[in-house]
Structure 1
Protein backbone atom coordinates (compact mmCIF):
# COMPACT_ATOMS: atom_id res chain seq x y z
CA UNK A 1 0.00 0.00 0.00
CA UNK A 2 1.33 3.45 -0.85
CA UNK A 3 -0.37 5.54 1.86
CA UNK A 4 -0.86 5.36 5.58
CA UNK A 5 -4.55 4.57 5.16
CA UNK A 6 -6.64 2.80 2.52
CA UNK A 7 -8.15 6.18 1.64
CA UNK A 8 -4.71 7.67 0.96
CA UNK A 9 -3.80 4.70 -1.24
CA UNK A 10 -7.06 5.09 -3.16
CA UNK A 11 -6.48 8.83 -3.48
CA UNK A 12 -2.96 8.27 -4.81
CA UNK A 13 -4.21 5.77 -7.39
CA UNK A 14 -6.84 8.28 -8.50
CA UNK A 15 -4.25 11.05 -8.69
CA UNK A 16 -1.93 8.87 -10.78
CA UNK A 17 -4.80 8.09 -13.15
CA UNK A 18 -5.85 11.76 -13.36
CA UNK A 19 -2.24 12.87 -13.93
CA UNK A 20 -2.05 10.44 -16.86
CA UNK A 21 -5.17 11.98 -18.38
CA UNK A 22 -4.44 15.62 -17.53
CA UNK A 23 -1.18 16.69 -15.81
CA UNK A 24 -2.70 20.00 -14.65
CA UNK A 25 -4.77 18.23 -11.96
CA UNK A 26 -1.69 16.98 -10.12
CA UNK A 27 -1.72 19.52 -7.24
CA UNK A 28 -5.22 18.46 -6.07
CA UNK A 29 -5.54 17.67 -2.35
CA UNK A 30 -8.64 16.95 -0.21
CA UNK A 31 -7.29 18.91 2.76
CA UNK A 32 -9.63 21.73 3.66
CA UNK A 33 -12.77 20.15 2.16
CA UNK A 34 -14.53 20.71 5.46
CA UNK A 35 -14.17 24.48 5.04
CA UNK A 36 -16.11 24.40 1.77
CA UNK A 37 -19.33 23.53 3.59
CA UNK A 38 -20.93 26.13 5.85
CA UNK A 39 -22.18 25.16 9.30
CA UNK A 40 -25.90 24.50 9.29
CA UNK A 41 -27.92 26.66 11.71
CA UNK A 42 -28.98 24.87 14.89
CA UNK A 43 -32.71 25.09 14.11
CA UNK A 44 -32.23 23.63 10.63
CA UNK A 45 -30.21 20.71 12.03
CA UNK A 46 -32.91 20.02 14.60
CA UNK A 47 -35.62 20.15 11.94
CA UNK A 48 -33.83 17.85 9.50
CA UNK A 49 -31.79 15.56 11.79
CA UNK A 50 -33.50 15.76 15.14
CA UNK A 51 -36.87 16.15 16.78
CA UNK A 52 -38.36 17.86 13.71
CA UNK A 53 -38.66 14.57 11.85
CA UNK A 54 -39.10 12.29 14.83
CA UNK A 55 -40.40 13.99 17.98
CA UNK A 56 -39.76 10.84 20.04
CA UNK A 57 -36.24 10.29 18.66
CA UNK A 58 -32.79 11.67 19.33
CA UNK A 59 -32.06 15.36 19.05
CA UNK A 60 -29.49 16.52 16.50
CA UNK A 61 -26.74 17.08 19.10
CA UNK A 62 -26.90 13.45 20.23
CA UNK A 63 -26.99 12.19 16.64
CA UNK A 64 -23.89 14.23 15.81
CA UNK A 65 -22.04 13.00 18.91
CA UNK A 66 -22.89 9.41 17.96
CA UNK A 67 -21.59 10.09 14.45
CA UNK A 68 -18.38 11.49 15.92
CA UNK A 69 -17.98 8.40 18.07
CA UNK A 70 -18.48 6.14 15.05
CA UNK A 71 -15.90 8.07 13.04
CA UNK A 72 -13.46 7.72 15.95
CA UNK A 73 -14.08 3.98 16.32
CA UNK A 74 -13.44 3.51 12.60
CA UNK A 75 -9.92 4.84 13.06
CA UNK A 76 -10.45 8.60 12.67
CA UNK A 77 -9.41 8.35 9.02
CA UNK A 78 -12.09 10.69 7.66
CA UNK A 79 -10.54 13.99 8.74
CA UNK A 80 -12.92 16.31 6.89
CA UNK A 81 -15.95 14.44 8.22
CA UNK A 82 -14.65 14.58 11.79
CA UNK A 83 -14.00 18.31 11.51
CA UNK A 84 -17.47 18.96 10.08
CA UNK A 85 -19.16 16.75 12.66
CA UNK A 86 -17.42 18.52 15.55
CA UNK A 87 -18.30 21.92 14.11
CA UNK A 88 -21.95 20.95 13.69
CA UNK A 89 -22.16 19.26 17.11
CA UNK A 90 -20.96 22.47 18.74
CA UNK A 91 -23.50 24.47 16.75
CA UNK A 92 -26.18 21.99 17.89
CA UNK A 93 -25.28 22.72 21.52
CA UNK A 94 -22.54 20.23 22.43
CA UNK A 95 -19.93 21.46 24.87
CA UNK A 96 -16.19 20.98 24.56
CA UNK A 97 -16.42 18.47 27.42
CA UNK A 98 -19.14 16.45 25.64
CA UNK A 99 -17.07 16.31 22.45
CA UNK A 100 -13.99 15.17 24.38
CA UNK A 101 -15.92 12.50 26.31
CA UNK A 102 -17.50 11.21 23.10
CA UNK A 103 -14.10 10.83 21.45
CA UNK A 104 -12.57 9.29 24.59
CA UNK A 105 -15.31 6.66 24.76
CA UNK A 106 -14.76 5.92 21.07
CA UNK A 107 -11.12 5.31 21.91
CA UNK A 108 -12.13 2.32 24.02
CA UNK A 109 -13.31 0.57 20.86
CA UNK A 110 -11.19 2.23 18.16
CA UNK A 111 -7.89 2.39 20.03
CA UNK A 112 -5.69 5.11 21.43
CA UNK A 113 -4.19 6.19 18.07
CA UNK A 114 -7.67 6.79 16.64
CA UNK A 115 -8.75 8.63 19.78
CA UNK A 116 -5.63 10.80 19.72
CA UNK A 117 -6.10 11.71 16.07
CA UNK A 118 -9.80 12.49 16.53
CA UNK A 119 -9.03 14.58 19.63
CA UNK A 120 -6.37 16.54 17.73
CA UNK A 121 -8.81 17.24 14.90
CA UNK A 122 -11.57 18.24 17.32
CA UNK A 123 -9.22 20.50 19.28
CA UNK A 124 -8.17 22.21 16.08
CA UNK A 125 -11.81 22.87 15.14
CA UNK A 126 -12.68 24.14 18.61
CA UNK A 127 -9.64 26.44 18.70
CA UNK A 128 -10.58 27.92 15.33
CA UNK A 129 -14.16 28.43 16.50
CA UNK A 130 -12.99 30.02 19.76
CA UNK A 131 -14.57 27.36 21.96
CA UNK A 132 -11.45 26.36 23.90
Structure 2
Protein backbone atom coordinates (compact mmCIF):
# COMPACT_ATOMS: atom_id res chain seq x y z
CA UNK A 1 0.00 0.00 0.00
CA UNK A 2 1.50 3.35 -1.04
CA UNK A 3 1.44 6.48 1.16
CA UNK A 4 -1.09 8.03 -1.26
CA UNK A 5 -3.47 5.12 -0.60
CA UNK A 6 -3.20 5.77 3.13
CA UNK A 7 -4.10 9.45 2.83
CA UNK A 8 -7.92 9.69 2.86
CA UNK A 9 -7.93 13.14 1.22
CA UNK A 10 -5.80 11.99 -1.71
CA UNK A 11 -7.97 8.88 -2.09
CA UNK A 12 -11.12 11.03 -2.11
CA UNK A 13 -9.63 13.41 -4.70
CA UNK A 14 -8.55 10.48 -6.89
CA UNK A 15 -12.08 9.00 -6.72
CA UNK A 16 -13.61 12.39 -7.54
CA UNK A 17 -11.26 12.89 -10.48
CA UNK A 18 -12.03 9.42 -11.85
CA UNK A 19 -15.78 9.92 -11.44
CA UNK A 20 -15.78 13.37 -13.03
CA UNK A 21 -13.48 12.39 -15.91
CA UNK A 22 -13.06 15.11 -18.51
CA UNK A 23 -15.28 17.56 -16.62
CA UNK A 24 -12.72 17.68 -13.79
CA UNK A 25 -9.92 18.40 -16.25
CA UNK A 26 -11.89 21.18 -17.94
CA UNK A 27 -12.98 22.87 -14.70
CA UNK A 28 -12.37 26.61 -14.40
CA UNK A 29 -13.68 29.29 -12.02
CA UNK A 30 -14.90 31.34 -14.99
CA UNK A 31 -17.21 28.52 -16.08
CA UNK A 32 -18.52 28.17 -12.54
CA UNK A 33 -19.16 31.93 -12.38
CA UNK A 34 -21.16 31.77 -15.61
CA UNK A 35 -23.34 29.00 -14.17
CA UNK A 36 -24.12 30.93 -10.99
CA UNK A 37 -27.23 33.09 -11.45
CA UNK A 38 -27.28 36.77 -10.61
CA UNK A 39 -29.86 37.65 -7.99
CA UNK A 40 -32.34 40.31 -8.99
CA UNK A 41 -31.99 43.79 -7.52
CA UNK A 42 -35.21 43.34 -5.50
CA UNK A 43 -34.07 40.02 -4.01
CA UNK A 44 -30.69 41.46 -3.04
CA UNK A 45 -32.33 44.50 -1.47
CA UNK A 46 -34.66 42.28 0.53
CA UNK A 47 -31.96 39.86 1.68
CA UNK A 48 -29.02 42.16 2.35
CA UNK A 49 -30.27 45.71 2.04
CA UNK A 50 -33.20 47.73 3.29
CA UNK A 51 -35.34 44.62 3.68
CA UNK A 52 -32.90 43.21 6.23
CA UNK A 53 -32.20 46.54 7.91
CA UNK A 54 -34.62 49.35 6.98
CA UNK A 55 -32.44 52.05 8.53
CA UNK A 56 -29.17 50.55 7.31
CA UNK A 57 -27.20 50.39 4.08
CA UNK A 58 -28.75 49.41 0.78
CA UNK A 59 -27.58 46.33 -1.15
CA UNK A 60 -25.54 48.33 -3.66
CA UNK A 61 -23.53 50.04 -0.91
CA UNK A 62 -22.97 46.74 0.90
CA UNK A 63 -21.69 45.14 -2.31
CA UNK A 64 -19.33 48.06 -2.97
CA UNK A 65 -17.98 47.68 0.57
CA UNK A 66 -17.51 43.97 -0.13
CA UNK A 67 -15.43 44.91 -3.19
CA UNK A 68 -13.18 46.99 -0.93
CA UNK A 69 -12.76 44.04 1.43
CA UNK A 70 -11.96 41.59 -1.36
CA UNK A 71 -9.45 44.04 -2.83
CA UNK A 72 -7.73 44.72 0.48
CA UNK A 73 -7.24 40.97 0.86
CA UNK A 74 -5.03 41.20 -2.21
CA UNK A 75 -7.69 40.54 -4.87
CA UNK A 76 -6.85 36.86 -4.56
CA UNK A 77 -10.35 35.43 -4.98
CA UNK A 78 -11.21 36.09 -8.61
CA UNK A 79 -14.51 34.22 -8.46
CA UNK A 80 -15.73 36.26 -5.48
CA UNK A 81 -14.64 39.51 -7.14
CA UNK A 82 -16.44 38.61 -10.38
CA UNK A 83 -19.60 37.65 -8.52
CA UNK A 84 -19.55 40.80 -6.42
CA UNK A 85 -19.07 43.00 -9.50
CA UNK A 86 -21.94 41.20 -11.26
CA UNK A 87 -24.23 41.64 -8.29
CA UNK A 88 -23.19 45.24 -7.61
CA UNK A 89 -24.01 46.14 -11.22
CA UNK A 90 -27.36 44.38 -10.92
CA UNK A 91 -28.02 46.28 -7.67
CA UNK A 92 -27.57 49.54 -9.58
CA UNK A 93 -23.86 50.36 -9.27
CA UNK A 94 -22.47 52.01 -12.38
CA UNK A 95 -19.11 51.06 -13.86
CA UNK A 96 -17.80 54.41 -12.65
CA UNK A 97 -18.91 53.69 -9.07
CA UNK A 98 -17.26 50.26 -9.19
CA UNK A 99 -13.98 51.70 -10.51
CA UNK A 100 -14.00 54.50 -7.93
CA UNK A 101 -14.59 51.95 -5.16
CA UNK A 102 -11.61 49.91 -6.35
CA UNK A 103 -9.47 53.05 -6.57
CA UNK A 104 -10.34 53.89 -2.97
CA UNK A 105 -9.46 50.33 -1.96
CA UNK A 106 -6.06 50.86 -3.58
CA UNK A 107 -5.23 53.43 -0.91
CA UNK A 108 -5.38 50.63 1.66
CA UNK A 109 -4.56 47.55 -0.40
CA UNK A 110 -1.79 48.94 -2.57
CA UNK A 111 -1.39 49.34 -6.30
CA UNK A 112 -0.91 45.64 -7.22
CA UNK A 113 -4.14 44.54 -5.50
CA UNK A 114 -6.08 47.49 -6.93
CA UNK A 115 -4.75 46.78 -10.43
CA UNK A 116 -5.68 43.10 -10.23
CA UNK A 117 -9.16 43.86 -8.88
CA UNK A 118 -9.70 46.48 -11.59
CA UNK A 119 -8.64 44.04 -14.32
CA UNK A 120 -11.07 41.43 -12.98
CA UNK A 121 -13.87 44.01 -12.69
CA UNK A 122 -13.22 45.35 -16.19
CA UNK A 123 -13.32 41.84 -17.67
CA UNK A 124 -16.58 41.10 -15.85
CA UNK A 125 -18.19 44.39 -16.84
CA UNK A 126 -17.17 43.91 -20.48
CA UNK A 127 -18.70 40.42 -20.40
CA UNK A 128 -21.93 41.88 -19.01
CA UNK A 129 -22.06 44.62 -21.66
CA UNK A 130 -21.42 42.36 -24.65
CA UNK A 131 -24.46 40.84 -26.36
Range class of TM-score, shorter chain: 0.7 to 0.9
Comparing 14-23 with 50-59, which one deviates more in the overlay?
Answer: 14-23
- 1:107 matched to 2:102: no
Match of 1:31 among 29, 32, 37: 29
Structure with higher Rg: it is 2
C-alpha distance after superposition, 1:55-79 (max 9, x if no partner): 0000000000000110000000000
Gaps of 5+ in 1: 1-13
- 1:80 matched to 2:79: yes
Gaps of 5+ in 2: 1-8
C-alpha distance after superposition, 1:77-126 (max 9, x if no partner): 00000000000000000011110011111111111111111001100111
Deviation for aligned residue 1:17: 7.0
TM-score (norm 2): 0.80
Say what the alpha-carbon RMSD is for the aligned residues: 2.3
- 1:46 matched to 2:45: yes
Deviation for aligned residue 1:36: 1.9
Deviation for aligned residue 1:46: 0.3
Distance 1:89 1:130 in 2: 14
Structure with more helix by fraction: 2
TM-score (norm 1): 0.79
Distance 1:94 1:16 in 2: 45
The count of residues paired between Structure 1 and Structure 2 equals: 118
Distance 1:66 1:49 in 2: 12
1:20–1:43 Cα change, 3 Å: closer
1:16–1:118 Cα change, 3 Å: farther
